[in-house]
Chains A and B, each alone.
Chain A
Amino acid sequence: MLDVSVSYNRYKFIGREFLTWLWFAVDTDHQGLEGLFEDPTSVDVGNRMVLENRQREAVETVTIKGDDAGLEEGRLALRKGAAVTEINIVCRRGEQQWQLTLKGESLHMTGLRCPPTGAVETKADLEGAVLEKVYLCDMIIQIVDTLFKAFVEIRLSDDWQNRVVPRIKQWIFA
Chain B
Amino acid sequence: MGILSTSVSVTRYRVDGKLEQPIIETASERLKRYAISEMADEASEKLAGWTSFDAPFQPNFDGSSFVIGEYLVFALRIDKKNLPPKTVKKYCAIEEAKRLNESGREYLSRQEREMIEDQVVNTLMMRVPAVPNVYDLVWNYERSTVWFFTTLKAANEELETLFLKSFKVPLVRLFPYTLADLELGLSDTDRDILHNLNATSFSE
**Interface of A with B (CB < 8 Å)?**
1-2, 4, 7-8, 10-11, 13-15, 17-18, 20, 55, 78-81, 83, 103-114, 117, 120, 126-127, 129-131, 133-134, 137, 141, 145, 148-149, 152, 155-156, 160-161, 165, 168-169, 172
- B7-35 interface mask toward A, CB cutoff 8 Å, 1 = contact, 0 = none? 11111100000000000000000000000
A-B contact count (CB 8 A): 124
Q: Which of B53, B175, B195, B201 contacts A8 (CB 8 A)?
A: B175
The minimal Cβ–Cβ distance linking A161 to chain B, given in whole angstroms, is: 8
Closest B residue to A105 by beta carbon equals: B175
Q: How far apart are the CA atoms of A7 and B175 in the complex, in Å?
A: 9
Say which one of B43-51, B80-88, B179-187 lies at the interface with A: B179-187
Could you tell me if A112 and B12 are in contact, using CB atoms closer than 8 angstroms? no
Q: How far apart are the CA atoms of A120 and B4 in the complex, in Å?
A: 10
The minimal Cβ–Cβ distance linking B58 to chain A, given in whole angstroms, is: 14
| 7 residue pairs, one from A and one from B, having the closest CB atoms | A13-B199, A11-B177, A15-B176, A81-B203, A14-B176, A108-B151, A110-B9
Q: Which of A2, A10, A106, A130 contacts B3 (CB 8 A)?
A: A130
Q: How far apart are the CA atoms of A83 and B176 in the complex, in Å?
A: 15
Q: Which residues of A contact B104 (CB under 8 A)?
A: none
Q: Which of A7, A81, A105, A160 contacts B178 (CB 8 A)?
A: A7
Q: How far apart are the CA atoms of A10 and B3 in the complex, in Å?
A: 32
Q: How far apart are the CA atoms of A111 and B203 in the complex, in Å?
A: 31
- B190-204 interface mask toward A, CB cutoff 8 Å, 1 = contact, 0 = none? 100111011111110
A-B contact pairs, 8 of them (CB 8 A): A1-B181, A2-B195, A81-B203, A83-B202, A130-B4, A133-B4, A137-B138, A141-B10
Could you tell me if A137 and B147 are in contact, using CB atoms closer than 8 angstroms? yes
B124 an interface residue at 8 Å Cβ cutoff?
A: no
Q: How far apart are the CA atoms of A20 and B180 in the complex, in Å?
A: 17
Q: How far apart are the CA atoms of A106 and B193 in the complex, in Å?
A: 21
Q: How far apart are the CA atoms of A137 and B9 in the complex, in Å?
A: 10
Q: How far apart are the CA atoms of A103 and B9 in the complex, in Å?
A: 11
Q: Which residues of B contact A108 (CB under 8 A)?
A: 9-11, 151
Say which one of B65-73, B111-119, B126-134 lies at the interface with A: B65-73
